[in-house]
A and B are shown apart, each in its own frame.
Chain A
Amino acid sequence: DTAVSQTPKYLVTQMGNDKSIKCEQNLGHDTMYWYKQDSKKFLKIMFSYNNKELIINETVPNRFSPKSPDKAHLNLHINSLELGDSAVYFCASSQERGRYGYTFGSGTRLTVV
């Protein structure tokens, strides 16, 4: 299936731990994104990469670091997890620099305890 796939789907971890979320797209898109959806369902962009180059870096704590080994993958690494990091994280991809909309993954629900 052509899609944006994220792993894991659920992630429960303790405060202070370091964790990673992986994202892969096989749509041939050239741009990938990370969004955070909080408990009130509000969606906010965090990062965007175009062909391995960082193009969007919103006001996100330095504990969050995206890594793009190639244009089909964009991973998100989070250091020293805090309770406030609990959210659903969505990966997305697009072509034509996002002009025509994004294709989203199914999300990773991160719970920090």
Chain B
Amino acid sequence: AQSVTQLDSQVPVFEEAPVELRCNYSSSVSVYLFWYVQYPNQGLQLLLKYLSGSTLVKSINGFEAEFNKSQTSFHLRKPSVHISDTAEYFCAVSDSMFSGGYNKLIFGAGTRLAVHP
């Protein structure tokens, strides 16, 4: 079964500084990878995803993630963070199940990004 490791439980950073949130997954076979964001007391919102093609994927609010197959990683980066980016960030891998072809999302433990003024 797939697993996802988010190496940092908390990442404090000052406003306008760059940030990287790390994510590693277990499988060496083809995978679909996702980053979700959870703002305080809200649900999860899809930030970006890698399905195929270009290994660098970008969101509309300045985040990007790079799929690295050899290192089984999908790290999330932003060159300059804002106070409003403070949230919990979850990396997830789509685990293709049995013959039915259904996929279930396996989540990492989350990384709390705290942006300080």
Contact = CB atoms under 8 A, between A and B. Distances in A.
Interface string B102-113: 111111011010
B107 A43 contact: yes
Interface in A15-68: 31, 33, 40-45, 48, 50, 55-56
Given A48-B104, A98-B94, A41 B109 contact: yes
Interface stretch (A70-78, A79-87, A103-111): A103-111
Interface in B80-117: 88, 90, 92, 94, 96-97, 100-107, 109-110, 112
A101 B94 contact: yes
A50 B32 CA distance: 20
Contacts of A102: 46, 105
A58 B70 CA distance: 31
Given A50-B102, A100-B51, A107 B32 contact: no
Interface residues of A, number: 25
Nearest to B34: A101
B42 interface: yes
Contacts of B78: none
Contacts of B107: 42-44
Contacts of A101: 32, 34, 46, 49, 92, 94, 105
Interface of B: 32, 34, 36, 38, 42-46, 49, 51, 88, 90, 92, 94, 96-97, 100-107, 109-110, 112
Interface of A: 31, 33, 40-45, 48, 50, 55-56, 90, 94, 97-107
